[in-house]
Structure 1
Amino acid sequence: MCGRYATTRTAQRLTDDFSADLAVAEDAISADFNMAPTKQAPLVIARAAADSSAVTRELLTAKWGLVPSWAKDPSIGNRMINARSETVDEKPSFKRAFAKRRAVVPLDGFYEWYQGPDTGSGKPPKQPFFITGHTPDGGGEGLGVAGLYEFWKPKDGGDAVEWLVTFTILTTAAEGEDGRLHDRAPWLVAPEHLDAWLDPAPHGKDELFALLHPATPGRLQAWPVSTAVNNVRNNGPELLKPLAAE
């Protein structure tokens, strides 16, 4: 998976879709058609109450790029936007979060860039594609992608310093047409598996991954979009428009 996606659902729509309590101001969540690393994005988590065993779902915002709790510098998150599922339970940066801080990243779809074959006339430009559960006319549903989250603050920050909440997206090997676009794809969490995936209690790796399915052909659609998405400053619904419709 590459490093861009689109998320356009309102806070109210997300709390309804994920049966979650809103844990931030409603205006903290807004449409972003060109979500990039280091931006604040909507995130769904489940937390156990301190005084009981009850677990509640929360919708909050977090910075894309996971910062491990032991990190000295939060800039490490800039290269932690994705976590490979094959090694997520082994890597020091992710294994603690995988054990008990699993999340769902709500999105409409994600972008991948396809490098066409070399015809001998120079390296062809990469063509961006939008991969989504929606249809070009706006039908279909949004996606819930498997992620991990962490809390971080400097060790000498004291009580006055707020916790930084960050997240990463779990990826697996892509298949079919998705593999042609990119060799990695995000894991998707089906609505019926939200409770089990978000449960903060420890679970085995095989048990957890049995809850997920990769973003593969047959589940999602892909169409070419404008190269305007290449520039993170461009942000609007026109970025999702299929080229053939222009």
Structure 2
Amino acid sequence: MCYQTKITKQKEEIAQRFKVDISNLKLFNPTEFCSAFDYPKTPVITNADPTKAQLFNWGLIPSWSQNNSIRNYTLNARIETLAEKSSFKDVIQNRCLIIANGFYEWQWRTKSGSKKQKYVITLPNEEMFAFAGIFTEWTDFNNKKINTYTIITTQANELMSEIHNNKQRMPVILKQEDEQHWLQGENYEAFKFPYSCNFVAKPVNEHLNNTTNNTLKLNFD
């Protein structure tokens, strides 16, 4: 699964990388640690308005939901069951790019998970990339419209399985040349398999709040 990300780039860098207008990112602040369970607003690009980067809340709330508690269960969406889940099946074509320059996973060192090692996974130079996502608009009881998203996940490949070795999952990370294909509604089943991206995983020393110099290069085949 994917519940913690990072986006430490400035909004001007987002504009340059994704060729989008950033006037809607006035409230954006770069962050080293973004937890899904805070339901934060993070930068996305949607197929409804692909020329702009916007701030949407993590944790998809379907338009039919009676309250926002459902977002506890919609932070991620398994690509294998998108067409089956009531929260996702009607909005599969509401595509978005979720902008990041890293994410975090835990490697279990014991079968029970009593000992874990946290890793941060980035591109070699911490370049930005996009997770595949879907989004929706929900209206609350005060008639306020809230835009929300979920990150699509898939089965981990052999190398990523070394890191996320208990759940065997990973987010769908798009190659740059496929970002527009995702936005334009290409069959989602074409994105079930991890793409080839030369990611680097670094152990995180949480006590010192930094990373070690030991790195593991991951080729997402």
TM-score by shorter chain over 0.5 = yes
Contact 1:7 1:106 (C-alpha < 8 Å) held by counterparts = yes
Name the structure 1 match of 2:10: 10
Structure 1: runs of 5 or more not aligned: 49-55, 229-237
Deviation at 1:10, TM superposition (A): 1.4
Name the structure 2 match of 1:168: 150
Name the structure 2 match of 1:205: 188
Name the structure 2 match of 1:95: 89
Name the structure 1 match of 2:40: 39
CA shift digits 1:172-210 (9 cap, x unpaired): 0001231122210011122222222112xx55333x52x
Looking at structure 1, the residues matched to 173 and 10 of structure 2 have their Cα atoms a distance apart, in angstroms, of 20
The one-letter code sitting in structure 2 at the alignment partner of 1:129 is Y
Name the structure 1 match of 2:203: 224
Contact 1:89 1:205 (C-alpha < 8 Å) held by counterparts = no
Looking at structure 2, the residues matched to 63 and 124 of structure 1 have their Cα atoms a distance apart, in angstroms, of 31
Contact 2:79 2:153 (C-alpha < 8 Å) held by counterparts = yes
Contact 1:189 1:213 (C-alpha < 8 Å) held by counterparts = no
Looking at structure 1, the residues matched to 175 and 81 of structure 2 have their Cα atoms a distance apart, in angstroms, of 22
Structure 2: runs of 5 or more not aligned: 216-221
The one-letter code sitting in structure 2 at the alignment partner of 1:241 is T
SS of residue in 2 equivalent to 1:96: coil
Equivalent runs, 1:26-175 vs 2, <5 Å: 26=26, 28-37=27-36, 38-47=39-48, 56-98=50-92, 100-117=93-110, 124-134=114-124, 139-154=125-140, 156-157=141-142, 161-175=143-157
After TM superposition, where is structure 1 displaced by more than 3 Å over at least 4 residues in a row?
A: 202-206
**How many corresponding residue pairs?**
210
- What TM-score results when the alignment is normalised by the length of structure 2? 0.84
Deviation at 1:125, TM superposition (A): 2.1
Looking at structure 1, the residues matched to 23 and 48 of structure 2 have their Cα atoms a distance apart, in angstroms, of 11
- Tell me which structure has the larger Cα radius of gyration: 1
- RMSD of aligned Cα (Å): 2.4
Name the structure 2 match of 1:19: 19
Looking at structure 2, the residues matched to 15 and 240 of structure 1 have their Cα atoms a distance apart, in angstroms, of 28
- What TM-score results when the alignment is normalised by the length of structure 1? 0.76
